[in-house]
Structure 1
Amino acid sequence: MFENLSERLEKSFKILKGQGKITEINVAETLKEVRRSLLDADVNYKIAKEFTNTVKEKALGMNVLTAVKPGQMMVKIVHDELIQLMGGTHVDINIKGNPAVILMSGLQGSGKTTFSGKLANLLKTKRGKHPLLVACDVYRPAAIEQLKVLGEQIGVPVYSEEGNNDPVKIALNAVKEARATGKDVVIVDTAGRLAIDEQMMNEIAAIKKAIDPEETLFVVDAMTGQDAVNTAKEFNDRLNFDGVILTKLDGDTRGGAALSIRTVVSKPIKFVGTGEKLEALDVFHPERMADRILGMGDIVSLVEKAQEQFDAEEAKKLQKKIAKNQFNFNDFLSQIQQIKKMGNIKDLASMIPGVGKALKDVDIDDDAFKGVEAIIYSMTPEERENPELINGSRRKRIASGSGTTIQDVNRLLKQFDESKKMMRMLSKGGKMMGKAPMKRR
């Protein structure tokens, strides 16, 4: 996400490279490029102009420290203003009701139904909630079926009423059902339209009035750029929603919606969808997004994603196996599965400072581990448990069974051995068996 914007901004800052101090001339030249970068990213012209004017005032009004180069200072100012542009601080979703009712709004195709499933999954797995999904799109039978499929995948019940074409009554009955069955969050998926119309607005306004939700969320496709911002304004004028959800932020989007929408509707972005998987939903943090836009990575989010997959008991067992030199391919496969659950591999790598830029033109898909998994699955249970048994003839059989070459199998075995040695060394506090401690360089 934001790859083109990040690249353009980086080029803008290069104008100040080698400059001894910030002056009105070099600031004007730099900010002219920054404004172009924002406009190319589909940021509203008025917002882009106000943004660069604010940066200019701060840059010229600041005494640049001798230890800080002008280019670095400009990056810092732009970084801070990007955070403010996107809301300043993270605003969490309100789930304090009993049950907490969350109403979805947005156009057809924005991703409301998929997001409803993702949100239910997040609240269930990460916040210990017991959600109920509600199918209130009575015009599109496929939407009800889609919600039921999503509910089944994540183990969350879906409330629907066959033959009832009144979404207001369905929503009210769903809230009663939630109270009766001990569900503490109700997520109401409503109908969308291909365009904004009066009937749609009247209907969702009636649902909101009837169920009085703790949260009304506006779901919008980030790939629609300025159209997303305009639609958000019309919905907010009518519904006065509480927050924005940006879906498909992993697609070929220029980022304009994320940078413009907060200023236009004065409502926070609460979540961003970053992929098709039900786990591909990120809580929105303005400061972390600013870091990523400016190529600084996002280590905090990366660590959080890792911790979500972290099992303390399993980690203890694994640590003991590593210490006893018993780490095997079953353990190796388990680690791969945990990494895959964290999300898109390229997106994860881009959270490491500097790596995103290096991988800009590198195609890394979710099948990056496919070949490795195929090789491991082609091993017998005994071979996975005892890798030292894998001799020449076994390697040939494994290569044939996995559709790879003997060279691929040899490469994996070598990498496995090196990883095993490294993990054992780390488990012993930096000491290899029979060797002196490694010296720091």
Structure 2
Amino acid sequence: MMDVIVIGGGPAGLAGAIASASSGLKVTVIDEFVKPGGRLLGQLHEEPSGEWWNGIKESERLHLEAKKLAVDIRCGVSVYNLEKDDELWNVHTSIGTLTAPNVLLATGAAEYPIPLPGWTLPGVMSIGAAQVMTNVHRVQVGKNGIIIGANILAFAILNELQLAGIHVDRIVLPEKGPLSGDAGEPEEVMKSLLNAAHLAPSPLLRMGSKFMKNDWFRKMGMKFFPKNGVKVNGTPLLLRKAALEIIGTEQVEGVRVADTDEFGNVIPGTETIYEADFVCIAGGLYPLAELAAVAGCPFQYIPELGGHIPHHSETMDTPLSGLYVAGNITGIESGKIAMAQGTIAGYSIAKHADKGGAAIEEKLQQAIQNIHIVREQAAIQFNSEIDKGRRKMYELWERLYSSKKSESKIS
């Protein structure tokens, strides 16, 4: 029998498995994809330092390290239920039921869909799917595309598509409405993008973004936003144009758009069609936390972390005994943060299992300090107030569970 079952073979899951196994625990990692690595497999970008972050190489490094520690990695396996039976967790999978006293949920994130007319046409995909097809499967998604939705994830993948020689003609917003939420509100989009303004390709844009953080300047900026947009790595970002419909007969042929006012309201009579042979919809990310809900873990809605988050402490344990979380299930951040969280979870599991010897507490505290350093050095934050969101969760944990530290946790 295993000591730990890790659900999710991405950066958080692999790092957690490595930390647990290095402390003397027997670990199994299960993942529904055909190979480990998760979202790392699609990542390729240049860091501010000039170094390249190659997700495929990073995942290979983690995989090799885990194998050296005798971690059992099973890919192509889906999990559909998770329940506690006395002291053991039963993980119901497509290959049968696996049991262990400890489970680490590292299920990552999923993309918000933004439905609009024509989105079922061949050639329409999420921005994350375009990343996987390009960087993992080496498939050209098209020759001339349009991205609907402007966020940090979209810009990161735009650069990756450009590196692969794929032309993205324009970035427009989805039409304002209940299905698009803040993604269809030009000013809200502008506010979210200002958090990555330091990465803007020109000194003028970087300087101008400082003024845009002022409410009055930002409103004026939206009112007089250039009709032809502002270029991001050569691709026009059109915050005052909304996608009304993706058109085509048997496949994508273009996108019907209209001008909007500064509030995102469509201006009648301004419709036009932009030609394209593929469309990427970029709705942003949310924590993929269904298994935590199935297990009975309490949740809290924290928008700064990306949505509904399972209750967890800074050491990544939950109120359910033997259940731990790490990575984007706890809030949307980068792969480096996910790995740092996985390491904390792995050492936390070892500590509770009385493994790792006298040094385990020091390793755990060092891992906690490391995540603060990694977060401070992060070039991009998907959510601008991530620190505020983390504080909310840890304060909630202290309020609800700190008095029970000496008692046994929920069975």
- Under a length normalisation based on structure 2, what TM-score does the superposition of the two structures give? 0.27
Instruction: Return the structure number with greater relative CO, CA threshold 8 A, min gap 6.
Output: 2
- Under a length normalisation based on structure 1, what TM-score does the superposition of the two structures give? 0.26
Q: Which has the larger radius of gyration?
A: 1
Larger relative strand fraction: 2
